[in-house]
Structure 1
Amino acid sequence: MSFEEAIALQPAWVGIWLNVLFLGAFVLPVALLFWKPSRMVAVWTLIASLLAGVSVVWMFGQMGYVKLLGLPHLILWTPLAIYLWRQIGRIDMPIWPRRIMWVILGIIVISLAFDYVDVARYILGERGSFAVQG
């Protein structure tokens, strides 16, 4: 079963959430490239998101659709969230990049909440695949 097929077996809200996550991890960071003060934020967000995405797909190929798939997000997006928080507070940061960063940060924090719970549940013994749940 492919990653896309496993996602398709999930409730509809999971697919919707993954689209929102894509918006926050890849689309909105590109918009930050337009302002010089936010360009490095865009680059780091895109790098972290790309590495997380590739890692999740690789882990899926190795382990299946298990709760541990959130681990790359924990490793890469926790420091990214702290970085975004600090960049939002910069005095030289224009208002629109700040607003975009707030949206990105919100999406990442929501994703991290799911991921921390899933990874903890995996560590505590919930190791079955959840691709068959509906």
Structure 2
Amino acid sequence: MTLEEAIATRPVWLQVWVNILFLGAFVLPLALLIWKPSRIAGLVTAAASILAAGGVYWIYGQLGYVRLLGLPHILFWTPLVFWLRHQQARPDMPVWPRRIILTVCTVIVVSLAFDYADAVRYLLGERQPF
């Protein structure tokens, strides 16, 4: 079973969330490429999200659909959020990239809340696949 097929077996709210996460962490950052002051933020965010996704697929291939799947998000997105907030505060950052960065950070932080909770539960012994 692929990761996409495994997600399709989960509750509808989770499937909706995965789509929101894809839009907020993978697609929306590409809009930052429009403005020169936010281009690096867009590229760094896209790269971090691609690396995190690759890590999720790798863990899925090794362990299956387990609570540890959020670990790559934790490793790549936690420092990214702090860096993006710093980028957002730059005086030369136009208003629309600031709004986009805030939206991206909001989506990522919500995801990280789930990811941290799941990682802790995994470390405390909940290692069975969903």
TM-score (norm 1): 0.96
Shift of 1:100: 0.4
What is the letter of the counterpart of residue 100 of structure 1? Answer: I
**Residue deviations 1:32-63, cap 9 Å, x none?**
00000000000000000000001101110110
Cα distance in structure 2, aligned partners of 1:5 and 1:96: 36
The count of residues paired between Structure 1 and Structure 2 equals: 130
Q: Does 1:80 align with 2:80?
A: yes
In structure 2, the residue matched to 1:8 is 8
Give structure 1 stretches of 5+ with no counterpart: none
Give structure 2 stretches of 5+ with no counterpart: none
Cα distance in structure 2, aligned partners of 1:110 and 1:26: 15
TM-score (norm 2): 0.98
Q: State the percentage of identical aligned residues.
A: 58
Structure with more relative contact order (C-alpha pairs < 8 Å, separation 6 or more): 1
Shift of 1:5: 1.2
Instruction: Give the superposed CA RMSD.
Output: 0.5
Cα distance in structure 2, aligned partners of 1:55 and 1:49: 10
Consecutive aligned runs of 4 or more in structure 1 exceeding 4 Å deviation = none
**Residue deviations 1:73-116, cap 9 Å, x none?**
00000000001111111111000000000000000000000000
Q: Secondary structure at the match of 1:117?
A: helix
Matches within 5 A, 1:54-73: 54-73=54-73
